[in-house]
Structure 1
């Protein structure tokens, strides 16, 4: 995530990239370099200015295309100028240091309205995409990406258990989801059952108690989405080890503990199930300019944990897949970018689709991977990043 703050920011948010990171990013660094590059006729003013136009094509087209002006006569950059700019867009900036904020500083999220509902003969859709009759669990579900994905599960027919460190917020959001459902579906015969539960996802005792409470409330668990996680930004040589252990405890241990607890429940029932781990494009690439090596490594671990468990549990009928979001525009990210518009331009310049993702962009992917529509998909990593990681 870019200056991404993950659900942590994800919990709050998440790469889910999101953005607490932005606060300490030098305002002049990227913009100055971009301005200098744009003044050159050898680099396009679009995107991030990363690709030069071959000299032969410049001569043939008279610039950057058949309609380009032939009046551009600015001199070519010197070797010294080229050397000073080399690699400048592909390096981390050690001045960016961001700690995950305390709970009371995290903004509350709002449910998506007007999304409709599938599965109960409300709107026609592919039958296998319905989650009707399923009970889903989403960790880190009281805010940001986790909340929206949980709501997507409800819209698709599931009952839902929201798990979060902040149970009060989870209770509020459970009520909001049901109220929103009633508003969008006034003629529905039965509203979804949405409950709120506390868990420290990094604590095995807390996780087991939470699972037992959910089963007591709902009678079973069919689906799991592990959205609890967060990111911080420190240069590796200065990252406090206690904070690194906490980050790994939530992102990696939390994913493992909830996944294995739900798997034991499914195996005891001799029931099939589907899990979606929320990774990040950071598990496959290195984000710049923010330094976040521990987070990147943690999300890479989540991605490979998904692959490993998908093989181990295939014989039990349990599918495990991963969604790796790119830069997502959550409420937290939006607040930061409102004050730093140049940063948004820098981020989106690296995304082929030219925009950051909306939390709603994850509703479809998570529903697909949890539903029977993906019954032959397991161990997959679905990157929802606007094309960021393929350029």
Structure 2
């Protein structure tokens, strides 16, 4: 039986990728992507890839201004690719600060805000019986409440502009399993909360009958070698052996290992994915 006839306008308003050529499926042309935690090593690497994939990029982080050693190389990429790169200081736990950042992003943007990657987050380890409640609350406030504030701010812009969008929330394999050899109940709980938050927002914004769909997915990386990993290894040197032994590929990941998967979730190549968790943990959770 032949497939039913489709309406081109309906397909476009629904964010379908049916009419994209293969080479364009993962392009991000004519859209602005907002990145939180934009000065972290993973997001700096991602920002470069976003620019190279055709997007304008608006980064937010806590410092008033980005350091030159981080920002100047990104500005060179933006100049080379002909795309905009902007930055705003933002406290992800403060609703007014988040709203102000999005006002700046929307005002400066030459293309509609159609994508968001939430990566602002902190890590903490402590035995549960000794966990200071103020530190537990801070982790939840930044990792969960901050993600919620950014997602809702982005959705309001997309709905007001009547454009489809894609929100990618950085979760973690730690939202699915328990990490061997280290006590991180607050962090792991926060990442589980992000997984559930994404599913609920996907249900609200996928087909409300009034706006183009906003897809909401999570991305769950496995262990990544970054500057944040070094203090953990210094405190618990046995993890240098224990963690790689639990990885089917036998190595920790680098930030470069995770760029293409996030691009996929932002792009029209994943147009039929929402409320999903894409986990890149080299098989760790499958043992």
TM normalised by structure 2 equals 0.86
Q: Is the 8 A contact 1:141 1:170 kept in 2?
A: no
In structure 2, what is the equivalent of residue 280 of structure 1?
Answer: 172
Q: Is the 8 A contact 1:170 1:196 kept in 2?
A: no
Q: Is the 8 A contact 2:78 2:85 kept in 1?
A: no
In structure 2, what is the equivalent of residue 355 of structure 1?
Answer: 251
Change in 2 beyond 3 A, CA 1:164/1:172: farther
Structure 2 runs not aligned, ≥5 long: 1-20
Distance 2:40 2:242 in 1: 26
In structure 2, what is the equivalent of residue 34 of structure 1?
Answer: none
SS in 2 for 1:207: helix
Report the Cα offset of residue 224 of structure 1. 0.1
Distance 2:105 2:142 in 1: 20
Distance 1:227 1:373 in 2: 22
Map 1:219-230 to 2 at 5 A. Answer: 219=110, 220-230=112-122
Match of 2:239 among 343, 353, 358: 343
Name the larger-Rg structure.
Answer: 1
In structure 2, what is the equivalent of residue 160 of structure 1?
Answer: 57
Greater RCO, 1 or 2 (C-alpha within 8 Å, sep 6+): 1
Report the Cα offset of residue 168 of structure 1. 2.0
In the alignment, does 2:73 pair up with 1:176? yes
Structure 1 runs not aligned, ≥5 long: 1-123
Match of 1:192 among 78, 83, 106: 83
In structure 1, what is the equivalent of residue 102 of structure 2?
Answer: 211
SS in 2 for 1:285: coil
Distance 2:230 2:101 in 1: 32
| Aligned length, in residue pairs | 262
SS in 2 for 1:262: helix
In structure 1, what is the equivalent of residue 154 of structure 2?
Answer: 262
Report the Cα offset of residue 342 of structure 1. 4.8
Map 1:35-184 to 2 at 5 A. Answer: 126-169=23-66, 173-180=70-77
Distance 1:172 1:253 in 2: 30
What RMSD, in angstroms, separates the aligned Cα atoms of the two structures?
Answer: 2.1
Distance 1:388 1:356 in 2: 11
In structure 1, what is the equivalent of residue 286 of structure 2?
Answer: 390
In structure 1, what is the equivalent of residue 142 of structure 2?
Answer: 250
